[in-house]
């Protein structure tokens, strides 16, 4: 069994996608805020065959636990499938080879300048390993290299008459830093947060299974099962209990995804943190 891709972005099958879009992204037309176009980007990518998940619609329908929960909440399975594809596509876009925009070039220059002033004997490390293992790094304390680094930092800072009030990059954010990928646990957190927003928008009630009913109405467990279905984890425990996902959220839940600049869903993710998170 296959599914039919909607003919228009406002097709009824796109309802959950469209509702989620309006919540998680605000567009900008160059002069003022406007409606997001992320749903249009998703619709276009579907029609071009640009979304290539490692799972199939048939497998989704065969996921009895997931389908039973969706039907228990009286959700439309086809609409949910498109929302799942949408959230998966966003998660992948933000999670793989995106740019970190949490700091501007100006911020980084200030930090380097301050560090070099306070550490005259600083050593420069080059590594593709965050742990800076000795076998995976290059280091130098060459006076020539460090002197030129100091000169470069000073020269760049001199371009600013004062600290910019807005975020400023010396190069277009679209042309740099598309090399940073999130670990699978962070991608799990992002998928969880996106589904949580969707469930809030759909106003899913707190249901309890009736006596003799095997279906689970735990929203946390539902998302956990979807994360496993989307192959963001190979831990089968995600399909039977929510504690593994809770552990991931405890460790990585404070990550700010709003500071990520991906290639497709540009313009800014708008995930509001709840108090206490």
pLDDT digits (tens, 9 = 90+) for 225-240: 999 999 999 999 999 9
Is residue 135 assigned to a domain? yes
**What is the percentage of the chain residues whose pLDDT exceeds 70?**
85
Residue 266 has pLDDT above 50, yes or no: yes
69 and 124 co-located in one domain: no
172-206 as b/e: b if 16+ CB within 10 A:
ebeeeeeeeebeebbbbbbbbbbbebbeeebeeee
Tens-digit pLDDT profile for residues 136-165: 678 898 989 999 999 999 998 888 877 776
- Which of 146, 168, 190 is the endpoint of a domain? 168
pLDDT digits (tens, 9 = 90+) for 52-78: 999 999 999 999 999 999 999 999 999
Structure confidence at residue 225 (pLDDT)? 98
Please state the rounded mean pLDDT for residues 104-111. 82
Q: Does residue 129 share a domain with residue 219?
A: no
- The predicted model gives 108-131 an average pLDDT of 83
213 plus 257 within the same structural domain: yes
Instruction: Answer whether 245's CB lies under 8 Å from 238's CB.
Output: yes
How sure is the predictor about 96, in pLDDT bands with cuts at 50, 70 and 90? confident
Q: Which two tokens stand for residue 199?
A: 């469930």
Q: Is residue 269 part of a domain?
A: no
Higher pLDDT, 216 or 259: 216
Residue 3 falls within a domain, yes or no? no
Residues 21 and 64 in one domain: yes
Quick one: 273 exposed, middle or buried, by C-beta within 10 A (0-12, 13-18, 19+)?
exposed
d(CA 187, CA 184): 5
Q: Are 60 and 160 members of one domain? A: no
Residues 162 and 143 in one domain: yes
Residue 5 lies in a domain: no
Question: How many domains does the structure of the chain reveal?
Answer: 2
**Residues 96, 112 share a domain:** no
Looking at the fold, whether 82 and 113 belong to one and the same domain comes out as no
Owning domain of residue 154: 105-168
Average pLDDT over the chain, rounded to an integer = 86
What pLDDT, on a 0 to 100 scale, did the predictor assign at position 274?
55
Domain endpoint, select from 168, 198, 213: 168
Q: Do 192 and 95 fall within a single domain?
A: yes
**Same-domain status, 233 and 114:** no
Residue 128 falls inside a structural domain: yes
Determine, yes or no, domain membership for 173.
no
Same domain, 134 and 211: no
Contact indicator for 46, 39 with CB cutoff of 8 Å: no
For the chain, percent of residues with pLDDT exceeding 90: 55
Tokens representing 133 are: 């293992």
Q: Tell me the angle at which helices 64-72 and 219-229 cross, rounded to the nearest 10 degrees.
A: 140
pLDDT per position as a tens digit, 160-215: 877 776 555 555 544 455 567 889 999 999 999 999 999 999 999 998 888 878 89
Task: Examine the domain organization and report whether 133 and 89 are in the same domain.
Answer: no
């Amino acid at each position: 069994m296959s599914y039919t891709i909607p003919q228009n972005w406002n097709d009824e099958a796109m309802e959950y996608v469209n509702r989620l879009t309006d919540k998680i992204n605000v567009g900008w037309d160059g002069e003022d805020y406007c409606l997001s176009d992320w749903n249009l980007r998703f619709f276009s990518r579907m029609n071009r065959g640009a979304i290539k998940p490692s799972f199939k619609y048939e497998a989704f329908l065969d996921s009895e636990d997931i389908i039973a929960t969706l039907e228990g909440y009286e959700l439309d399975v086809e609409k949910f499938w498109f929302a799942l594809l949408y959230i998966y596509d966003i998660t992948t876009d933000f999670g793989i080879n995106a740019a970190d925009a949490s700091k501007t070039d100006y911020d980084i220059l200030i930090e380097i300048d301050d560090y070099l002033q306070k550490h005259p004997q600083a050593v420069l490390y080059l590594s593709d390993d965050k742990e800076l293992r000795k076998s995976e790094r290059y280091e130098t304390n060459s006076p020539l290299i460090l002197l030129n680094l100091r000169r470069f930092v000073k020269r760049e800072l001199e371009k600013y008459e004062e600290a910019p009030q807005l975020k400023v990059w010396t190069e277009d954010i679209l042309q740099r830093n598309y090399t940073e990928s999130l670990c699978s646990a962070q991608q799990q957190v992002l998928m969880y947060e996106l589904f949580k927003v969707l469930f809030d928008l759909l106003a899913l009630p707190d249901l309890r299974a009736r006596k003799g009913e095997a279906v689970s109405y735990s929203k946390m467990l539902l998302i956990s099962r979807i994360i496993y279905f989307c192959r963001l984890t190979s831990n089968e425990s995600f399909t039977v209990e929510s504690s593994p996902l809770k552990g991931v959220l405890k460790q990585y839940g404070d990550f700010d995804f709003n500071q990520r600049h991906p290639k497709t869903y540009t313009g800014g993710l708008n995930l509001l943190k709840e108090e206490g998170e």
